[in-house]
């Protein structure tokens, strides 16, 4: 019995050693990736880029979004008329802001100062929106050699000097007339874009400009009539 038990124990030991050897052989097969290799070859989570500043709608502040939430600008749909509108509206807004900035020290009618305050509060942030729209598409804001004075509603340098030199009721009269003309030009530019543009953000922007500045024109006409 003792000899038979010993032979059985020996056989089990031999089989166990054989299985261990086989396992080691399989573990070290050259075609089996090691733990390091497997980790290196496994797909890693997509790296997040830096946060992206997304322009808000007209009159609304810009917001910061994670990069993965923002579409690649190259996939955005726009045409040359969208780009032209944005490039022209930047200096157009800039002149309106410049005119409005003259009112606090020159206007006699507090309603004129209130109109000027609203124009500055609305159009200064919109300039940032327009610049961000171009930057997101890798487009420059400047149009070399273009005469911005030829745009609808733009006031001449001489008219701007007259406005800056005026005070009291004379300033109010000039401001209302010039800003009304300026707004009318912006409304025409925006309305034209609504017919030919394809960028959704600029369609919303142009619609907002046409609506809000038409309301402002009505307010200024009431000032003249009163």
Q: Is residue 40 part of a domain?
A: no
Average pLDDT, the chain: 78
Tokens standing for 103?
Answer: 């009112």
Q: Is residue 20 part of a domain?
A: yes
Q: Are 189 and 92 in contact (CB under 8 A)?
A: yes
Residue 130 and residue 214 in one domain = yes
Task: For the chain, list residues with pLDDT below 50.
Answer: 1, 9-10, 12, 14-48, 52, 55-59, 67-74
Domain harbouring 121, CATH code: 1.20.1260.10
Contacts (Cβ under 8 Å, ≥6 apart) of 126: 58, 59, 93, 205, 209
Residue 81 and residue 8 in one domain = no
Compute φ and ψ for 177, nearest 5 degrees: -65, -50
Q: Are 191 and 210 in contact (CB under 8 A)?
A: yes
């Amino acid at each position: 019995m003792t000899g038979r038990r010993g032979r059985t124990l020996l056989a089990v030991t031999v089989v166990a050693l054989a299985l261990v050897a086989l396992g080691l052989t399989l573990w070290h097969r050259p075609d089996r990736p090691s733990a390091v290799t497997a980790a290196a070859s496994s797909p890693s989570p997509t790296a997040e880029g830096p946060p992206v500043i997304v322009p808000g709608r007209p009159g609304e502040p810009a917001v910061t979004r994670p990069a993965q939430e923002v579409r690649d600008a190259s996939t955005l749909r726009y045409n040359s008329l969208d780009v032209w509108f944005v490039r022209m509206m930047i200096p157009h807004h800039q002149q309106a802001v410049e005119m409005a900035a003259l009112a606090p020290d020159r206007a006699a009618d507090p309603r004129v100062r209130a109109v000027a305050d609203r124009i500055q509060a609305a159009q200064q942030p919109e300039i940032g929106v327009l610049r961000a729209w171009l930057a997101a598409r890798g487009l420059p804001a400047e149009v070399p050699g273009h005469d911005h004075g030829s745009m609808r509603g733009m006031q001449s340098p001489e008219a701007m000097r007259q406005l800056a030199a005026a005070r009291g009721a004379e300033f109010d009269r000039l401001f209302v007339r010039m800003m009304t003309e300026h707004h009318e030009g912006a409304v025409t530019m925006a309305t034209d874009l609504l017919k030919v543009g394809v960028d959704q953000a600029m369609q919303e922007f142009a619609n907002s400009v046409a609506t809000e500045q038409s309301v402002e024109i009505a307010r200024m006409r009431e000032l003249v009539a009163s």
